[in-house]
Amino acid sequence: MSKKHYFSFATLVLFSLILAACAPAGGATEAPADTGAEPPAATSADTGADTGEVAPQVAAQGEILQRVLDRGTLVCGVHTELPGFGYLDEAGNNLGFDIDLCRAVAAAVLGDPTATEFVPITAADRGPVLQTAEVDLVPRNMTWTAKRDAEWGNFTIVMFYDGQGFMVRADSGIQSLEDMNGAAICVTSGTTTESNLANVFADAGLEYEAVIFEETGVVYSTYDEGRCDVATSDKSQLAAVRTGLANPDDHVILDVTISKEPLTPAVPHGDDTWFDTVKIVMYALINAEELGVTQANVEEMKSSENGAIRTLLGAGDDWGYTQLGLDADALARAIAAVGNYGEIYNRYMGPDGLSFTLPRALNELWSNGGLIYAPPVR
């Protein structure tokens, strides 16, 4: 063997050594580098080896709230390409349902709904940015699952009940799951959608050809060209996309719903005060709708005869602001900034919504037969 080959082999060997050094595989409890150069840091990566992760505490109590106040801006990880939830207008401004949730929190905590910094993140980034507490809040069309709750961060409350559905061509004759046996199905990679699809089809004993893309746009253009019989995603996303297809009326969204997708803003683990603050702002948006408080009538409602309304708007009892260290009218500011839950929904997805029209269905208030429900103010 020539020298060159020895070099190749040496590189190979070296690389595998590095690999081995970095990887305490199979639950071994030895330190990552076994000469003991770094004794204290060695154990934390090992404990999670086989059993799944022990959720780490990345932020200390009060730390995130404090850094938001110090910084004077709220950093949100958001979508920038999903009509209705998080997208950009012609001027490049972020807007959407999720964006308004971020603005509501900024208005409550900092007194200014524009004191926000939007960080565009991909579906795959959501876990890491929460785990490392790189952002303060992630309202990004994110499904709450037990696993993510344990591994990623604290999920606040469900702000949008979605479910995975299917879009097909109206003339395809597909009406049920069984009709899709053998169909080619376009799906985005790295989503819960992808694994739900696999599970449901396996359980039903049906076969399908998965056509998988990373870019959401490519998924639907490929479906539109006819490469796939079916496109699958959350129903809200399908509704959003359908309006942008060449001939929207040629496509139908089936009644079949194969999963629960509770879309929920989340915060990093560790700071309970911050977790509570975000939750209370979300509750306030929902309670405002229930109590008839709107963006327009916030000020006059402060003198309402209803005690719950006065408390909510900071003109009555303490709703918890003393404990959280916020202003009494923090929630009133949030409502004044973006409106109540119903107003936010209708702004983007209502009958004259900016993005598309999607019946509220499960996202009606509980008093109207939906699932949107918030704990009382006091």
Partner 1 sequence: MSKVKQIPFYRDERYLSAAAQVVSGLLVVALLWWLGVNFVRAAEARNLSLSFGFLDRPAGFPISDPAIPYTTNDSFGYAFLVGVLNTLRVAVAGVVAATVLGTMVALARLSSNWLLSKIALAFIEFHRNIPLLVLLFIWYFTVFRELPAVGESIVLPGPIYLNQRGVYFTWPRLIETGWVFAAGLVLGILASIALWNILRARRELTGKKTYFVEVSIAALFVFPLVGWILSGGEPFRFDVPSLQGFNIRGGLRLTPEFAGLFVALVTYTAAFIAEVVRSGIQAVDRGQLEAARALGLSGFHVMSFVIFPQALRVIIPPMISQYLNLTKNTSLALAIGYQELFSVGKIAINQAGRAVPVFLMVMAVYLMISLITALVLNLYNRRIQFVTR
Q: Which residues bind partner 1 (CB under 8 A)?
A: 2, 4-5, 8, 11-12, 14-16, 18-19, 21-27, 32-33, 37-38, 41, 44-46, 48-50, 53, 56, 58, 123-124, 127-128, 131-132, 151, 182, 184, 187, 189-191, 194-195, 197-199, 202, 209-215, 218, 222, 225-227
In degrees and rounded to multiples of 5, residue 231 shows phi and psi of -120, 140
Rounded to an integer, what distance in angstroms lies between the CA atom of residue 239 and that of residue 233? 10
What single-letter amino acid sits at 316? Answer: G
Residue (116 or 233) nearer to partner 1, CB: 233
Q: How far is the CB of 253 from partner 1 (least distance, A)?
A: 21
Q: How far is the CB of 57 from partner 1 (least distance, A)?
A: 9
Q: How far is the CB of 179 from partner 1 (least distance, A)?
A: 12
Rounded to an integer, what distance in angstroms lies between the CA atom of residue 252 and that of residue 248? 8
CB of 288 within 8 A of CB of 338?
no
Q: How far is the CB of 15 from partner 1 (least distance, A)?
A: 6
Q: Which residues contact 281 (CB under 8 A, 6 or more apart)?
A: 104, 105, 108, 330, 331, 334
Residue (2 or 247) nearer to partner 1, CB: 2
Q: How far is the CB of 119 from partner 1 (least distance, A)?
A: 16
Residue (143 or 363) nearer to partner 1, CB: 143
Cα 242–chain centre separation: 21
Residue (147 or 378) nearer to partner 1, CB: 147
Residue (226 or 351) nearer to partner 1, CB: 226
**Whose CA is closest to 276, among 129, 77, 105, 70?**
105
Helix (H, G, I), strand (E, B) or coil at 118: strand
**Whose CA is closest to 377, among 316, 297, 305, 294?**
316
Residue (184 or 308) nearer to partner 1, CB: 184
Q: How far is the CB of 364 from partner 1 (least distance, A)?
A: 33
**Residue in this structure with the two tokens 């299917």, named with its chain if needed:** 166
DSSP characters over 122-180: -GGGHHHHHHTT-SSBB-SS-B--HHHHHHT-EE----EEE-EEEEEEGGG---SSGGG
Residue (214 or 318) nearer to partner 1, CB: 214
Helix (H, G, I), strand (E, B) or coil at 10: helix
Q: How far is the CB of 170 from partner 1 (least distance, A)?
A: 15
Residue (56 or 376) nearer to partner 1, CB: 56
**Whose CA is closest to 157, among 325, 321, 375, 376?**
375
Q: Which two tokens stand for residue 313?
A: 């708007």
Helix (H, G, I), strand (E, B) or coil at 357: coil
Rounded to an integer, what distance in angstroms lies between the CA atom of residue 160 and that of residue 286? 11
Residue (58 or 328) nearer to partner 1, CB: 58
Q: How far is the CB of 102 from partner 1 (least distance, A)?
A: 23
Q: How far is the CB of 354 from partner 1 (least distance, A)?
A: 30
Rounded to an integer, what distance in angstroms lies between the CA atom of residue 38 and that of residue 83? 49
